[in-house]
Structure 1
């Protein structure tokens, strides 16, 4: 933390701020562009969007007046960035060809995010993702590629998995034993939720109904906590997690072993969880003091009544915090968050009875919702990672609530994301990852 001083010193030394290339100029991308533009020692040098006018508009709305709409002319774009001008381009895959210091992906589309990350890493350009769906599918591959060289690959600060990890690191640095870590979910799970159910609320929130559905059907929470699991190596105790209702003052008595009055079996070590209740929009870690002296001190300091305590960060502010990860990558050459283990997989369960021949929609659609399971269970049962299902053809009838296996679908092997996942699976099977 405290990146501003270092960023300004870097700018004085090099003669220019950190040049950030942003891929995606939607609602979150536009907000992120504005935030970076007002961060000392950083500037948005380029924005890519398939609707290039949106990229240009996002820069203008962030107060950038001298913008070159380069479209597909990458040579002109590169020259302009080198001269200190901001540019708008059409194809985010061209971003590493520009003289930018780091590429920030905020497309929200797993297929695009994974390709952006892969392309940046192979070009030796640092890359930060806002789309956790890509990381949960191929993050182990991407992080291993980056870590084998000198490129930084990271998921951005501000989303729950990263802020959960920071709480884990904080607890471990204090010598406290982590028992459970996770997030508060804003609403109860409605696994059968479909976009048509959410159109009115989506309109009020100015969201795409499918994006909102990914939250209401529980998929987003399953993905986020699986990413946290793969970054920490902490498993989910049961498939889908307990997902109990709990308020802040109950967590340190609830998410502890059954033998001590909680709900956890306590035989798997630290676990990843989520709760509904007043914890949202925060993240938490339930920790245990194993020292009588420390327990007495924590009780005296009113953290609770030991030996179990709750550490709470009562907010996460998404894209507003993303520049922190840029500072960490550029100044310290470190990632804030990476999936480095295959501990948990998110698979798909049918929302309703599905017939053969259906072309499956993506996450947040009408056909399936996400469900976190141990990675070894997914391998043993031949379950399809949820990120690979969009555009696949269903070849077997599936009843509502049934989980989709590779035997039930014809996966679209033309998708780059599928090719990346096949490579990751092969390397994991061989023990390389």
Structure 2
């Protein structure tokens, strides 16, 4: 039975739909708000954005007829209880309103981490589309949720989650996963700044910093790091190979070196490729039974024993609501870290001078690069999700990794406090789940 049917059954049983709150009303958030309100059994009860007029527009675009814009949480709660929708200017406000699920779509790691933490403390199911927060403090958030009654998850529709669904499918039909990953549909130019992509961003209706986070490679490194931490699968090499590869070449290139491919690890790894694989995701799986191999060859899946299971798309906000169904109906997350296998560290895009206040992801100063978590820990490397607002204490050369010792961190930032706690709990074994850095 589909989630839509089961959500409708829940609505009939409880007398109301699932009330959803969304934090962030930019391009992705507005699309999500519109999509949620089209799903039977879900209702868009609240949208928060620092620019409350964007929240109002997102609700109007979703067809919400009764919209109240207010800073008075008592009035906002009453409007929601009466079946209306509210627009507010604070994501934290949603944690004190009568919504069942909060979906964070701000794209800002600091905001996402703080809202997720507060939401889980309030006992609300909490879903992230800001994967940058997950690769910074996601193991702590998952532990909080799993110790209580709430759900913490990264949303369906993003490549890491759809990769995990392909892994589950491959395993369910008895195949051995060798490589899992995504196609990258932007060039890889690590030294790009927002200035370099402004014209392209404006033509696409995007924020230049967001586009820069794609072209400088940070977004891909973050996504595959999240996948690594959810599965425990390591990177084959730091930063991954990122080779040009067509769909037809996946099952011959992304296989062990002993069989003519590029993979050096013994066991499954995460990877990305450039070429016509984007915007899809893939699993390279091996058949270990001659009879099954013969059947798969006969069924034109390829020429074994290695096969590519390929999904040619990911639909971002359009399918993110599937995670609401999984959380509310099945009481399970679509995707969350179970290990701390990989880390995305901050690397200088150019020569940086002492005293500089660092811009965050997609800015002028640093890009993200994925490495084994144990290497990042031993080097004292700075996670890219903490970089925004740090002040350099020494000159950093282009291409050099930033370390904790090289910056002054604002310890009042909730994401910094959360990361300190996560690191301490990892160090003393209080956060389990396989590999840790």
Asked whether 1:318 is paired with 2:303, we answer: no
CA distance in 2, matches of 1:101, 1:398: 46
| Matching of residues 87-236 of structure 1 within 5 Å | 87-236=86-235
CA distance in 1, matches of 2:154, 2:122: 18
| Matching of residues 363-374 of structure 1 within 5 Å | 363-374=361-372
CA distance in 2, matches of 1:31, 1:24: 11
1:25 Cα deviation after fit: 1.2
Contact 1:139 1:340 in 2 (8 A): no
Which position in structure 1 is the counterpart of 2:240?
A: 241
CA distance in 2, matches of 1:237, 1:350: 23
1:49 Cα deviation after fit: 1.3
| Matching of residues 6-405 of structure 1 within 5 Å | 6-70=6-70, 72-267=71-266, 269-405=267-403
Contact 1:17 1:42 in 2 (8 A): yes
SS in 2 for 1:88: strand
1:266 Cα deviation after fit: 3.3
SS in 1 for 2:68: strand
SS in 1 for 2:313: coil
Q: Which runs of 5+ in 2 are unaligned?
A: 432-437
1:53 Cα deviation after fit: 2.0
CA distance in 2, matches of 1:130, 1:15: 29
1:187 Cα deviation after fit: 2.3
SS in 2 for 1:181: strand
Which deviations, in whole Å up to 9, do the C-alpha atoms of 1:313-354 show, x marking residues without a partner?
000010000110001100010100001210000001111111
Q: Which runs of 5+ in 1 are unaligned?
A: none
SS in 2 for 1:97: coil
SS in 1 for 2:273: strand
Which deviations, in whole Å up to 9, do the C-alpha atoms of 1:369-416 show, x marking residues without a partner?
110000000011111111111111111221111111112111221211
CA distance in 1, matches of 2:56, 2:286: 51
Contact 1:395 1:410 in 2 (8 A): yes
Q: After the TM superposition, list the runs of 4 or more consecutive aligned residues in structure 1 that deviate by more than 6 angstroms.
A: none
TM-score (ref. length: structure 1): 0.98
Total equivalences in the alignment? 431
Of 331-340 and 85-94, more deviation after overlay is shown by 85-94
Which deviations, in whole Å up to 9, do the C-alpha atoms of 1:164-205 show, x marking residues without a partner?
010111111111110000000002310111111101000001
CA distance in 1, matches of 2:56, 2:397: 47
Which position in structure 2 is the counterpart of 1:2?
A: 2
Which deviations, in whole Å up to 9, do the C-alpha atoms of 1:88-107 show, x marking residues without a partner?
11211011211111111111
Contact 1:180 1:273 in 2 (8 A): yes
CA distance in 2, matches of 1:266, 1:409: 34
Which position in structure 1 is the counterpart of 2:435?
A: none
CA distance in 2, matches of 1:69, 1:290: 59
SS in 1 for 2:95: helix
Which deviations, in whole Å up to 9, do the C-alpha atoms of 1:101-141 show, x marking residues without a partner?
11111111111111111001101111111100000000000
Correspondent of 2:412 among 407, 414, 417: 414
CA distance in 1, matches of 2:207, 2:85: 29
Which deviations, in whole Å up to 9, do the C-alpha atoms of 1:237-295 show, x marking residues without a partner?
1110000000000010001111110011133x100000000000000000000000110
1:422 Cα deviation after fit: 0.2
SS in 2 for 1:332: coil
